[in-house]
Structure 1
Amino acid sequence: MTIITGMRMNPEVVDWARRRFLAAAAIGIAAAGTIRLFSLRPASAADANEIRPFRVDIPETELTDLRRRAAATRWPERETVDDQSQGIQLEKIRPLVEYWAAGYDWRKAEAKLNAQPQFMTEIDGLDIHFIHVRSKHQNALPVIVTHGWPGSVFENLKAIGPLTDPTAHGGRAEDAFDVVIPSMPGFGFSGKPANTGWGTDRIARAWAELMRRLGYASYVAQGGDWGSPISSAMARLAPEGLLGIHINLPAVVPPEIAAALAINGPAPDGLSEKERTAFETLAAGAKMGSRSYATMMGTRPQTIGYAISDSPAGLAAWMLGHPGFTRWTYDDSDPEKSRDEVLDDITLYWLTNSAASSARLYWEYGGGRSPVFAAGEMTSEIALPVAITVFPGENYQAPETWARRAYRNLSYFHEVDKGGHFAAWEEPELFAVELRAAFRPLRHPI
């Protein structure tokens, strides 16, 4: 893949006169009852690399319909156990959905998105939505940050400030990043694949093309959840310009551990204390059905898609059943995990009707297999530098011994004392600190 070298695009990707013209055109689209998207399909092959400004303005009729559906939820009886072994508990989900119907304000979430520079561009026949924020500091290192499921671009918004403006957040100017946050295919405002083949390798190639199109000669990649296998695929494919990756859900589980887990067998002999703890955590999660959502979406995404595309309460329960949300309160006692924060994310899935299209990524990945197995991610083929941060609230704690075995060029490994599966969402300042430290050795003038 050819990379444009020694080039930084003008921060004004398009002139403001053209922006106003597109805005006027988008208003006409909205009148027809669709989401107002400041994007028009390129008119010719010559415009295939066009980057178009994008803005969100959901018609009020869509929000009214959502509130009506949420208010009309038919609830089942409560679970027969006092834990989450049967799924998300009624006493936790019902107040959230009732607030969704009567108190939640999507316009505040919409304003969060529209406060960021958003764009759309067509890559490999599919529209890709992305946020692109340039640092005010010279020689900022470009980073492409990939979200996961049931996350979205919302999970990375709070990290933009600490990454692009480190001097305002306890960092140094030379630690600044330019930040690119795309919505994965089938997620959010990105296009929905109409055919098969949009797996992690294809997304990795699309991300490399996006960074090329933005004019970046050198860059790094970061991801947790789905962002981890996608970033790992980028490192394995090693497109020109990619310097290294940082992941916070690493694929370090060795083959013999994976084999024991597959048959619910005992832990192999000779494990260290940390390795045994990791094994027991993964084994317990399997017995509890922690990845049952992945199994369903990995085998029958269309079937579950009918239910979660039709019921707001069903969608919320399905998404909040993810183990990454286990410790979340969904109340205002913890603003990082409040009901509004949670509903911003869920509402984005609802309004873009992307419950089924996002689920298909699990099918593409292969029947719901786990992304933490080293062999499945072909980590032995990765030669680029790999940095790992282990957050204590993650689904399992990756041992450093396994990490060094999986990644031959492990450049950074650090265990921190707070944060969970949605690291950038839960601890944006700490997340930024980790990226600064992880990528510091890779920096050079762009």
Structure 2
Amino acid sequence: MPIERFHIHVSDEILEDLKYRLHHTRWPDQIENARWERGTELCYLKSLVSYWKDHYDWRAQESKLNRLSQFCCNIDGIDVHFVHERGKGPNPIPIILTHGWPDSYLRYEKIIPLLTDPASHDGNPEDSFDVIVPSLPGFGFSSHPKHSGVNNYRISEMWAKLMTEELGYNKFAAAGGDIGSGVTRYLASNHPELLFGIHLTDVGIIRSLMTSSDQAELSGEELRYKKNASEWIAQEGGYMSLQSTRPQTLAYGITDSPAGLAGWIIEKYRSWSDCHGNLQHRFSEDELITNIMLYWVTNTMGSSTRMYYENSHSLPPLGYIEVPTGIALFPADILLPPKEWVMRNLNVTRWTLLPRGGHFTAMEEPELLAQDIRAFYKQFRVENNH
């Protein structure tokens, strides 16, 4: 199918059904004096659901989202929804930004104008980008894969086709975090000739360090990482184990209950962001609920969690990445990687430790991330002129 304009319009029936479910939520109880250590805290979630049903305005958010230039095309049998905003500088570099879970393409909503129009945000117009932000298959307004094997590798192949065959770019930039980091690294591994460079805010959980049995081979920093990663997975990794092994069982509950869906997502925003235990320090209620709504109105929570199963069961190994790589680490992110390991496995030409921010980088600190992306890709501007 050719590229088509995409306009969001959720039916009144879906919104009425959601309103009914929110008003008839069946709440669990909670241990006396329990807070977040046992999972999403009951009083907080009741407050968020109350705001959702009584004050949140989807139509206003829908209108806001429709200001973005959105499109859809079919790649390898999957309908891919994406934002495509043109840069306003003299020679924009095209860049594809890939999100993760449990966020959405809205992870990059705030950063899009900072990259497309830097001159309007205290930047240089010569640092502009054409920005492409797709929704991962099974997320948001992209369609649900009907077959197994749609993992980071397969999506990287789809992104190569999107950028070259569909959008006509000969060479481009790529950036991402969470699942987006994995997709971007496979893109660099499989199609280095297409890329100026890649920019990452994490490198995922480094399984090779965790399974290494020879402690003498590891540096002090790598040993600390191995210990911290093991503790983190034991305390925080239950969601990952379930989504990697039995995503279908989980899908029934979080597909049927909007409060259940919110509870599953919100805990991650609190745990993984630089909010110091208070979500309102980083995110507005509208911002949190709109991201949840993208899962609810598209019925994609079940299909999105399957990505964990696919990546743990069918993903080929990654070798050394030769494409120039920029790394921007946010201090409150999950498991900051050991520099030695990253340097051994990627051609790192820029390494930045940013002063604040967590896992949801472009949502939390869009200005810091935009500045680092612009700085990293400056070296490729001359190449783009040719």
Q: TM (normalized to structure 1)?
A: 0.80
Determine the structure 2 residue equivalent to 1:207: 159
Determine the structure 2 residue equivalent to 1:413: 351
Within a 5 Å distance, the mapping from 1:344-423 to structure 2 comes to 344-366=290-312, 378-407=317-346, 409-423=347-361
What is the distance in 2 between the residues matched to 1:326 and 1:271? 28
Q: Is the 8 A contact 1:251 1:406 kept in 2?
A: no
Equivalent AA in structure 1 for residue 245 of structure 2:
T
Q: Is the 8 A contact 2:103 2:291 kept in 1?
A: yes
Determine the structure 2 residue equivalent to 1:304: 250
Establish whether residue 287 from structure 1 lines up as the match of residue 239 from structure 2: no
Determine the structure 1 residue equivalent to 2:367: 429
What is the distance in 2 between the residues matched to 1:268 and 1:131? 47
Q: Is the 8 A contact 1:330 1:337 kept in 2?
A: yes
Residue from 76, 79, 82 that aligns with 2:28: 76
**SS of the residue aligned with 1:321?**
helix
Deviation, structure 1 residue 329: 3.2
Determine the structure 2 residue equivalent to 1:246: 199
Q: Is the 8 A contact 2:178 2:204 kept in 1?
A: no
What is the distance in 2 between the residues matched to 1:151 and 1:158? 14
**SS of the residue aligned with 2:373?**
helix
Relative to structure 1, the CA distance from residue 80 to residue 395 in structure 2 (aligned partners, 3 Å threshold; closer, same or farther) is: farther
What is the distance in 2 between the residues matched to 1:215 and 1:276? 45
Deviates more, 1:416-425 or 1:60-69: 60-69
Determine the structure 2 residue equivalent to 1:445: 385
Establish whether residue 58 from structure 1 lines up as the match of residue 10 from structure 2: yes
Residue from 258, 265, 276 that aligns with 2:210: 258
Establish whether residue 216 from structure 1 lines up as the match of residue 155 from structure 2: no
Instruction: Pick the structure with greater CA Rg.
Output: 1
Q: Is the 8 A contact 2:93 2:130 kept in 1?
A: yes
What is the distance in 1 between the residues matched to 2:187 and 2:101? 19
| CA distances 1:152-171 after superposition (whole Å, capped 9, x unpaired) | 01111000111111112222
Deviates more, 1:428-437 or 1:62-71: 62-71
What is the distance in 2 between the residues matched to 1:55 and 1:67? 23
Relative to structure 1, the CA distance from residue 91 to residue 197 in structure 2 (aligned partners, 3 Å threshold; closer, same or farther) is: same
Determine the structure 2 residue equivalent to 1:337: 283
Equivalent AA in structure 2 for residue 441 of structure 1:
Q
Deviates more, 1:228-237 or 1:391-400: 391-400
Deviation, structure 1 residue 275: 4.3
Relative to structure 1, the CA distance from residue 252 to residue 387 in structure 2 (aligned partners, 3 Å threshold; closer, same or farther) is: farther
Deviation, structure 1 residue 281: 3.0
Determine the structure 2 residue equivalent to 1:160: 112
Percent identity of paired positions between Structure 1 and Structure 2: 38
Q: Is the 8 A contact 2:243 2:308 kept in 1?
A: yes
**SS of the residue aligned with 2:25?**
coil
What is the distance in 2 between the residues matched to 1:295 and 1:126? 27
Q: Is the 8 A contact 1:128 1:182 kept in 2?
A: yes
Residue from 225, 241, 244 that aligns with 1:278: 225
Deviation, structure 1 residue 97: 1.2
What is the distance in 2 between the residues matched to 1:415 and 1:398? 11
Q: Is the 8 A contact 1:222 1:245 kept in 2?
A: yes
Number of positions where the alignment pairs a residue of Structure 1 with one of Structure 2: 380
| CA distances 1:352-398 after superposition (whole Å, capped 9, x unpaired) | 0001111111111116x9xxxxxx88453322112111101101122
Establish whether residue 106 from structure 1 lines up as the match of residue 53 from structure 2: no
What is the distance in 1 between the residues matched to 2:60 and 2:114? 21
What is the distance in 1 between the residues matched to 2:240 and 2:126? 40
Determine the structure 1 residue equivalent to 2:103: 151
Deviation, structure 1 residue 238: 1.5
Deviation, structure 1 residue 404: 0.8
Determine the structure 2 residue equivalent to 1:93: 45
**SS of the residue aligned with 2:351?**
strand
Equivalent AA in structure 2 for residue 145 of structure 1:
L
What is the distance in 2 between the residues matched to 1:103 and 1:76? 23
Relative to structure 1, the CA distance from residue 270 to residue 242 in structure 2 (aligned partners, 3 Å threshold; closer, same or farther) is: closer
> RMSD between aligned alpha carbons?
2.3
| CA distances 1:220-273 after superposition (whole Å, capped 9, x unpaired) | 110001100000110110154222211111158473x3126xx9x9x768744x
Q: Is the 8 A contact 1:146 1:223 kept in 2?
A: yes
What is the distance in 2 between the residues matched to 1:419 and 1:141? 26
Determine the structure 2 residue equivalent to 1:4: none
In structure 2, stretches of 5+ residues that fail to align are: none
Determine the structure 1 residue equivalent to 2:265: 319
Deviation, structure 1 residue 284: 2.3
Equivalent AA in structure 2 for residue 216 of structure 1:
Y
Q: Is the 8 A contact 1:147 1:223 kept in 2?
A: yes
What is the distance in 1 between the residues matched to 2:355 and 2:37? 27
Relative to structure 1, the CA distance from residue 325 to residue 415 in structure 2 (aligned partners, 3 Å threshold; closer, same or farther) is: closer
What is the distance in 2 between the residues matched to 1:83 and 1:285? 19
Deviation, structure 1 residue 59: 1.8
Deviation, structure 1 residue 114: 0.3
What is the distance in 2 between the residues matched to 1:309 and 1:89? 20
Residue from 130, 136, 148 that aligns with 2:82: 130
Relative to structure 1, the CA distance from residue 436 to residue 173 in structure 2 (aligned partners, 3 Å threshold; closer, same or farther) is: same
Relative to structure 1, the CA distance from residue 393 to residue 112 in structure 2 (aligned partners, 3 Å threshold; closer, same or farther) is: farther
